[in-house]
Structure 1
Amino acid sequence: MKSGKVKAEAWLNQFIRRASWRNASISVNVRVSMLVLRVKPHLHQAWNDLIVNTYFEALGLQVKNLNEATAKQLIDGSAYYVSVRGREACLDALAALFRAVGAANRISEPASPTDGRVTRATLGHFAFVTTKIRNVVELAAGTRASSRDGAVGDGHFPMWVAEVRRMDDSFPKSCEALNGLELIDGAVLERSLPQY
């Protein structure tokens, strides 16, 4: 029986029958991977919008009204995720993303008024959220030109890798919950070495 990556590749290479675009009465064979590639940009944009809107809403800002001065304050010293408000807003965005993708079990809501919410994630998950936020903030601050050369999300993977590596020293190397975030890969030495 196939498992993991081999199973996923086999599924993506399968053909399915669907109606032709030109003539609905004719069926054609199409690889699953071709259909997935058409969905990916829309899914990526939906996640981006969810993350960015949740983050700025938690800060009490509107992303469309983000000015250069505020953006520079958020970039300075990585305040967009290091400051208390920034971290809480990032955790709100991460929780919203987990709920959207069906991973709500990674979020432990407070049991009493004095408890806080705890989100269990990898450093890569947290960096995925902060990469989307950093992209918007850098564009608003004028420190970087648009990353778009083609499709939605082009250029975000290298930005995510850089973000993971930048964040590694800022987070504990343990699996204990700290300020609402439990890094499940906290003790893993390779957590800051995502592969291209």
Structure 2
Amino acid sequence: MKFAKIVPLAAAAIVSLSAAASASTISVVYGNGAVVAAPADTSAASSATGTIQAFNEVSNLTLGSNLKFNGYDIAAGTAIDSHMLFLSPTAGKTASSAIFSFSTDILAVFTNTRALNLTDALLGAAGTAYNAIAGRGLEPSDSFLVVGGDTIAMNLNATTTPGDWVRVITAADVAPVPLPAGALLLPGALALLGAAKRRRKSAA
């Protein structure tokens, strides 16, 4: 009877030793910005709203090799989230500014067309069709500034389709799960399990 009670306790304690992961949260702090759902394809995302829009892409991805673009070098083994920010032009020139905050630190900002196109397959949102669109990166008239580690200020001037696109890489939002009370009993449970096995052998 003791053997049957000890096994579930030990198993429950082992299963509980995990962490919860979710996408880094994006918030609009100031300006003409909006957080939207990932679109079915990037062409549809190019709707002319005049607003800098942001959506989540991959979540809790552990890099198998270094990620090097735009002067950034994120080491292999780093767990990351990725997010896309974009502004599509309305009739004529569209200028817009917004400040976005993330729940974790910003590790890199990819701003040129080559970096965006080459990382779509790895970092793009599941279910979103990415088109290798020429000229979707930032232009000399565009600017951004990372402030305080987790906030980015964007000043974009989208003159032609497909507009301005930026991929922001943040640290994965992995929250540690509090150690359950059962886990604290794990060493003792394993010791009792061994003792129970020895008693069963000696009684046989």
Q: Which has the larger radius of gyration?
A: 2
Please report the TM-score for the alignment, with normalisation by the length of structure 2: 0.24
Relative contact order higher in (CA < 8 Å, ≥ 6 apart): 2
